[in-house]
Amino acid sequence: MLTETLQRLADSRGGVLGVEPGLVISPDESWTRAEELLREPYTLLGRLVDDTAARWNAPRHVGAALFWKTYSYWHTLPMALGWALDGRVPIMRLADTWFKESGAGVTIAATRVRWDAGAAAISGALEESQRPLVEAIGALAKVGERTLWGSTAEAIAHPLTSIVPGDYMRLLHELGRPVDGLIEPAGDDYFRRTCCLWITLPGVEPCGSCCVLLPPRRAR
């Protein structure tokens, strides 16, 4: 069910999707192991951060936050959708995950996927596959981990409000830290409680979920 949903999503976007609809690939030279992002002194990660910063004429820490917003969205989306569709959650272990630069920013896939169920499986995947990257980006570009985890939290809320209906607040609560408490529900939509830093760029409009748009009566 999940892969069919991802294929329909890819078709609706002209093939531009940040995750392979089938999830599993046999990587060629266009793909890079995600583990390479963690190879010190973080040369590859630094290049991707700097390329993102250059694309938006942004400071390095903003480029880092925006790169992570893209990567974490596409890594998290299949798990959130699987949870909402039929409870089957695809787990891409860090050692099995590959990525390539694409029209979606990055596209993510794995050489193998383990199917699991429940919030505990997603929480474990975030700890195993995302926390090391969050820590590396924070060390590399001096951007707060709460800011970065806010993008992961939004990667759970957004697909469950725009692609497949799902109780994202329940899922976030079941996941617990570090993502619980970073999203504020607002009717059929939501606001972030942390900023992805897009709003710091000159001449841009805030994201629709930006914390700066939180009505004063709802602000914390």
Per DSSP, the residues of 2-61 read HHHHHHHHHHHTTT--SEEEEEE----TT-EEGGGGGSTTTHHHHHHHHHHHHHTT--HH
**What is the arithmetic mean of pLDDT over 113-121?**
97
| pLDDT above 80: residue 125 | yes
**What is the arithmetic mean of pLDDT over 72-82?**
98
Q: Give the number of C-alpha atoms closer than 13 A to the C-alpha of residue 10, restricted to the C-beta side.
A: 18
Q: Give the number of C-alpha atoms closer than 13 A to the C-alpha of residue 12, restricted to the C-beta side.
A: 7
Mean pLDDT over each residue of the chain, to the nearest integer: 93
pLDDT value for 219: 44
Which pLDDT band holds residue 204 (cuts at 50, 70, 90)? confident
pLDDT value for 100: 97
User: Exposed (0-12), middle (13-18) or buried (19+): which is 161, by Cβ within 10 Å?
Assistant: middle
Question: Which structure tokens are listed for 195?
Answer: 């900023």
| pLDDT above 50: residue 98 | yes
pLDDT value for 195: 87
Helix or strand holding residue 106 (H, E): strand 105-110
| Cα 99 to Cα 218: distance, rounded to the nearest angstrom | 38
| pLDDT above 90: residue 128 | yes
**What is the arithmetic mean of pLDDT over 117-128?**
97
Cα 1 to its chain centre, rounded Å, is 21
pLDDT value for 217: 56
pLDDT value for 202: 81
Question: Which structure tokens are listed for 118?
Answer: 């429940």
Q: Which residue has the tokens 């939004």?
A: 154
**What is the arithmetic mean of pLDDT over 158-163?**
96
The string of pLDDT tens digits covering residues 21-47 is 999 999 999 999 999 999 999 999 999
Which pLDDT band holds residue 218 (cuts at 50, 70, 90)? very low
pLDDT value for 24: 98
| pLDDT above 50: residue 113 | yes
Give the largest Cα separation in the chain, rounded: 52
| Cα 216 to Cα 220: distance, rounded to the nearest angstrom | 8
pLDDT value for 216: 64
